[in-house]
Structure 1
């Protein structure tokens, strides 16, 4: 799965699961503020990532994720790790 496909898939489930307008999802936007995430929403986000991409997410993985681009890069990296292992 390439970066473009990953981004499209992520944006699709973010719009559906978090009821955010697609136009607000831009690479430089703050993930937490744009999606209005609270601690329970993070759990929902982890579940959606794990079910869509087939890898386990650790809470500490989110420490360095501030923007949507950080999030895309994280997921793409984990998908690539899964493919090579």
Structure 2
């Protein structure tokens, strides 16, 4: 069973590696576009990397558009994890 804190750690690991960011900068309140300097193309890459890592589908455009901060990403991934994991 993967706990929420472990999911947060893995999300940080994936994003830090994908975009060569310092994991320390990936705080829950960090904004993707302003604080981390990501753009819309990076967002697509992020979705692909997270889908691959967690085996979930993030293709719901509405939920992806609502993601602005690292906390939003954590909440989205946690909400999509299969029951029992």
Query: What TM-score, normalized by structure 2, do the two folds share?
Result: 0.84
Structure 1, gaps ≥5 residues long = none
- Residue 60 (structure 1) shift: 2.2
Misfit runs of 4+, over 3 Å: none
| Bigger helix fraction | 1
Q: 1:9 — aligned with what?
A: 10
Give RMSD over aligned pairs: 1.5
> Unaligned 5+ residue runs, structure 2?
none
**Kept after mapping to 1: 8 A contact 2:30/2:36:** no
Equivalent pairs, count: 82
Task: Select which of 70, 73, 76 maps to 1:74.
Answer: 76
Under a length normalisation based on structure 1, what TM-score does the superposition of the two structures give?
0.84
Aligned residue number for residue 83 of structure 2 = 83
Q: Deviations over 1:17-71 (max 9, x none)?
A: 1111122111111122233222221111111111011111123212221211111
CA–CA separation in structure 1 for the residues paired with 2:33 and 2:80 = 20
Question: Whole-Å Cα distance in 2 between the matches of residues 32 and 75 of structure 1?
Answer: 19
Distance in structure 2 (CA, Å) of the matches to 1:9 and 1:34 = 20
8 A contact 2:14–2:50 mirrored in 1 = no
Partner of residue 41, structure 1? 42
